[in-house]
Amino acid sequence: MHEWALAEAVILTASQIAEKEGLKEVTEVKIKIGELQQIEQDIFEFAISQLKNERLKNTRFVIETVKVEFECMVCGHKWVFAKEKLGEDEKEGIHFVPEVAHAFIKCPKCGSSDFEILQGRGVWIESMKGVKP
Amino acid sequence: MIDPRISVIAERLKGIRNIIAVSSGKDSVGKSLIASTMALALARRGYRVGLFDLDFTSPSTHVILDAGDLYPEEDNGIVPPKVHGLKYMSIVYYAREYALPLRGADISNALIELLAVTRWNTLDFLIIDMPPGISDATLDLLRFIKGVKFLIITTPSSLAFESVKKLIGLLLELKTPVIGVIENMKIKESPFIRQQVEDRRIKFWGEVPFDSHLEEAIGDVNKLLETKFSKKLGELVEKNL
């Protein structure tokens, strides 16, 4: 699953940060998942649990979903993601590469596909806590 | 806030021996046809080859290859389908036939996403069909793919070379390997491009004559590989790569 690739990226990055910061143990990692990518959170969490290494074995992974907000570059209108208006192929395309939203979504006010994804795009590590030796 | 995708890119590319970006400062010089044909020629010589269409707003390699109905598989990421012996990836799998208007930040994000989740596994060559110019895709490639080498395409036109020389200048300044320059669509004898390239101490791979029958071979790989264009390009690849 695609969620595994993203979970692997999170584990690798968290491990690299822990190494750089000299943390012997990471106690918490806060992750933000953008709604646009439609990540299956249970699969993502399971992948995280399976990919954890020694330094991350007791880490609490706190996952927060972030709502999508779009802003039209032409008329300035802001709106939210309504995935029920999209077909299955369109949702799947956006799941893999969220930027293809520009092919399928238009500003509901002026019809432009020139918009910015203000928030809620992909997966981010917001913060980490840990114990130094 | 940290983007976790960046860390995993090197991991995804570690099994690839050579990453070659087929690039130009100018549009319509034949980059996509050269990238596709070069990838096919290498695959026919027994190499393990991938082709990655990075021209997100105007992809065309799927048309050249007639990539068909195959689709990337999900297996701990995305596994590119095999098209005519090439591991093939294009944003067209996700945006399909629709126009995809992207600004700079979106281009970077889409590129990072595909680099972070695509599993190329082991390859001898990954050929990248670049969009024209010196913008986001070129800058991101230099940022995220350590060891990428550039093959530059130009036409005999001084107008094309005016843009190409800026790309070459930038790459040399950044100490990025430029493996050579191909002069495509050659119509009449002129030493102009060769001289310009050699003056910059870059290898001039050679000239590919304009082939009036090339258009008829688009979408038919066997026919494409039989064109004068492909045969000449194959010679240049054999001799220089």
User: What residues contact residue B134 under an 8 Å CB cut-off, 6+ apart?
Assistant: B25, B166, B167, B170
Residue A1: its pLDDT value, please?
58
Residue from B94, B103, B114, B120 to probe the interface with A (highest A Cβ count within 10 Å): B94
- Average pLDDT over chain B, rounded to whole? 96
Q: What percent of chain B has pLDDT over 90?
A: 96
Q: Provide DSSP, A10-34.
A: HHHHHHHHHHHHT-SEEEEEEEEEE
Interface contact flag, B95 A117, Cβ < 8 Å:
no
**Cβ density class B211-225: b for 16+ within 10 Å, e for less:** beebeebbeebeebb
Distances (CA, A) of A98 to A12, A114, B60, B78, B113: 22, 14, 21, 14, 9
Interface contact flag, A2 B110, Cβ < 8 Å:
no
10-residue stretch averages of pLDDT, chain A, 133 residues long: 89 96 94 95 95 93 97 98 94 95 97 96 95 90
A88 chain-B contacts, CB cut-off 8 A: none
In which element (H, E) is residue B78 found?
strand B78-79
Ordered strands of the B16-23 beta sheet: B82-83, B86-90, B49-53, B123-129, B16-23, B149-154, B178-186, B204-209
B119 chain-A contacts, CB cut-off 8 A: 5
Contact with chain A for residue B7, Cβ under 8 A: yes
Q: Which of B11, B77, B100 sits opposite A100 (nearest CB)?
A: B100
Contact with chain A for residue B133, Cβ under 8 A: no
Tokens 């399928």 sit on residue? A104
d(CA B2, CA A46): 21
Smallest Cα distance from B117 to chain A, Å:
6
Burial class (CB in 10 A: 0-12, 13-18, 19+), B209: middle
Confidence check: pLDDT of B26 > 90: yes
ipTM summary value: 0.93
Ordered strands of the A69-72 beta sheet: A78-80, A69-72, A115-119
Contact with chain B for residue A10, Cβ under 8 A: yes
Distances (CA, A) of B115 to B109, B160, B169: 10, 30, 26
User: What residues contact residue B55 under an 8 Å CB cut-off, 6+ apart?
Assistant: B32, B129, B130, B131, B137
pLDDT digits (tens, 9 = 90+) for B164-173: 999 999 999 9
B56 chain-A contacts, CB cut-off 8 A: 99
Q: How many CB pairs under 8 A join A and B?
A: 108
pLDDT digits (tens, 9 = 90+) for B60-109: 999 999 998 899 999 989 999 999 999 999 999 999 999 999 999 999 99
Q: Which of A97, A98, A104 sits opposite B98 (nearest CB)?
A: A104
Q: Band the pLDDT of B1: cuts 50, 70, 90.
A: confident
pLDDT digits (tens, 9 = 90+) for B86-99: 999 999 999 999 99
**Cβ density class B114-125: b for 16+ within 10 Å, e for less:** bbbbbbbeebeb
d(CA B129, CA B33): 9
Report the chain A residue with the minimal C-alpha distance to residue B8: A9
Confidence check: pLDDT of B49 > 80: yes
Query: Nearest 5°: phi and psi at B150?
Result: -110, 135
Ordered strands of the A25-34 beta sheet: A60-66, A25-34, A123-131
Contact with chain B for residue A1, Cβ under 8 A: yes
Which residue, among B54, B71, B53, has the nearest Cα to B62 in the 3D structure? B53
The pair of three-digit structure tokens given for residue A115, joined into one six-digit string: 């918009």
Report the chain A residue with the minimal C-alpha distance to residue B105: A116
Report the chain B residue with the minimal C-alpha distance to residue A97: B110
Interface contact flag, A97 B110, Cβ < 8 Å:
yes
Residue B66: its pLDDT value, please?
97
Smallest Cα distance from B114 to chain A, Å:
7
Which residue, among B146, B149, B159, B144, has the nearest Cα to B114 in the 3D structure? B144
Within 10 angstroms of residue B190's Cβ, the number of other Cβ atoms is 13
Contact B187, B194 (CB under 8 A): no
Within 10 angstroms of residue A42's Cβ, the number of other Cβ atoms is 9
Rg (CA), chain B: 17
pTM for the predicted model, two decimal places: 0.95
pLDDT digits (tens, 9 = 90+) for B119-167: 999 999 999 999 998 889 999 999 999 999 999 999 999 999 999 999 9
